[in-house]
Amino acid sequence: MAEFWPPSVNQLTNKSLIMRIFSLTLIGVFFFGIAFNGCSTNEANFIISNNSKLDRQDEPVVLTRGMITEKTGEIQIIEGKLPLPHFEGQPLPSQLDDMDGDGSWDEVAFTLPIDANSQKSVSIVYVDSSDFPDFEDRTNVRFGVIKSGVVTPVDELTMEANELPVPLFTRFQMDGPAWENDKVGFRQYIDGRNGRDLYGKTLPAMALDTVGIADDGTLEDDYHVMLPWGRDILAVGNSLGIGGIGIIENGEAVRLGVRLDAEKNNIQTTHFELITEGPVRSVFKLSYEGWRTPNDNTYDLENTVSIWAGSYSHTNEISLTSMAETDTLAIGLVNIHNDNPPVVLDQVSENYTGFYTHDQQTYDDQWYLGMGLIFPKDNYVKYTTTPDEGPGITNSYLNLIELNQDKSFTYHVFAGWELSDENFADADYFDSFMKQEMQKISSPVSIQ
């Protein structure tokens, strides 16, 4: 230091010297920060790679907040700007989702067409919230509840055991929450039964907000006849429907919930929560606390349901809590109008097992319908068939899923109706469709 600042040349005091060094340091940090932030912003590109041999039309992509800020920094977010994905200079239909309910977005969700064995570069551009585009809705969740005689949509609802079951068309617009995209729709019988039903769609527009509501605002069954958008096409009865849940105890299948002729629900608390709803995906959670079975065992189960635009499917993330070391869940597929044997796909993928049926299995055997399920192979045991009559679960193929230490897994539900796509009338086409979906799940796109 003395070599550069000798007292005979520079009579600065120690205090002045320290202040000069401090000022120069601040200036350096300031310009370094500008350079760093500018570099990070310029590098806000993500490479989406499809390494499979299959083209993907509406491939779901999720970028977490951490993935984005690692490339861009956080200054734009602090300033209140929003990240908007772009491809070839054009904004991609997308949404910002608060997945944990803390009031801040956690994920950016969008879909992307991507050819087999190819890559696409998606850039993140920050925009003011007022400039974020209003994209067309291609997914929807609707849970209509009667309040003061009026059907009112709710984002959250808790029901205790003594509130369920309830008679049809008395409390809920569609017997529970319903969800749809531009291809297909589903609903959950939260009225106590917890089976799952299917809406076939002939138009891509969102339809379920008004289904089951008469002109005077009261409830009516208007969805078992053909409407411009489609209709309810599946007879469920006392089955588990398309992807409903039960459990196996002492070799017997036990329903998650009760039939409508029961006096009281076997679940202490049933909770519905809408997590997100938007143009490319919708997500909600069903929580069942205190599910007590005839063997006096008690379980808690959480089911997070996701539906993405452009897909003939939805996804279920399951988490089970119990005192047992091993539990076996049963995921159902109704067989009321099915005369053809089910098909198990266990040679398509190393990691997944598929199960499907295909027949004229809609109401009155009128139309061809393929229904399929895809499970992790490590959890899949086999399928069994319930009786067609009796006090419990009936008219169902039950896919047995074994859960050990980590009592969680994800399964996918598919439905292809011939009036949605005439190709679904062909059993061979649906077989190929299911195999391709298994291959896509087995080989997800990578993000860099």
Please report the domains of the chain, with CATH numbers, ordered by start residue: 45-131 (2.60.40.1180), 139-447 (2.70.98)
What is the reported pLDDT for 106?
Answer: 98
- Map tokens 């939805």 to a residue: 314
Say if residues 373 and 399 touch (Cβ distance below 8 Å). Answer: yes
Say if residues 210 and 218 touch (Cβ distance below 8 Å). Answer: no
Nearest C-alpha neighbor of 287 from the set 261, 317, 315, 314: 317
Say if residues 398 and 385 touch (Cβ distance below 8 Å). Answer: yes
pTM of the model as a whole: 0.90
Phi, psi of 57 (to 5 degrees): -85, -50
**155 CB-side CA count, 13 A:** 7
Length of the chain: 448
Say if residues 220 and 169 touch (Cβ distance below 8 Å). Answer: yes
What is the reported pLDDT for 30?
Answer: 37
What is the reported pLDDT for 19?
Answer: 36
Rounded to 10 degrees, what is the CA torsion of 45, 110, 284, 330? -100
What is the reported pLDDT for 169?
Answer: 85
68-76: long-range contacts at Cβ-Cβ below 8 A with a sequence spacing of 24 or more? 68/44, 68/108, 68/124, 71/40, 71/43, 71/44, 71/45, 71/46, 71/124, 72/40, 72/41, 72/43, 72/44, 72/124, 72/126, 73/36, 73/37, 73/40, 73/41, 75/37, 76/41, 76/126
Burial class for 374, CB neighbours closer than 10 Å (0-12, 13-18, 19+): buried
What is the reported pLDDT for 8?
Answer: 39
| Local structure of residue 220 (DSSP, 8 states) | -
What is the reported pLDDT for 37?
Answer: 37
HEC string for 309-362: CCCCEEEEEEEEECCCCCEEEEEEEECCCCCCCCEEECCCCCCEEEEEEEECCC
Q: How far is CA 355 from the centre of its chain?
A: 20
Say if residues 212 and 179 touch (Cβ distance below 8 Å). Answer: no
Phi, psi of 225 (to 5 degrees): -125, 160
| Local structure of residue 419 (DSSP, 8 states) | T
Say if residues 288 and 301 touch (Cβ distance below 8 Å). Answer: yes
Beta bridge partners of 47: 121
Cα angle at 68 between 64 and 74, to 5 degrees? 115
Nearest C-alpha neighbor of 237 from the set 317, 336, 314: 336
Per DSSP, the three-state class of 438 is helix
What is the reported pLDDT for 216?
Answer: 86
Say if residues 114 and 48 touch (Cβ distance below 8 Å). Answer: yes
Q: Please list the ranges in the chain whose pLDDT falls under 50.
A: 1-42
Q: What is the DSSP string of 228-284?
A: TTEEE----TTS-BEEEEEEEETTEEEESS--TT-SS-SEEEEEEEEEEE-SSEEEE
Instruction: Write the single-letter amino acid at 114.
Output: I
What is the reported pLDDT for 428?
Answer: 99
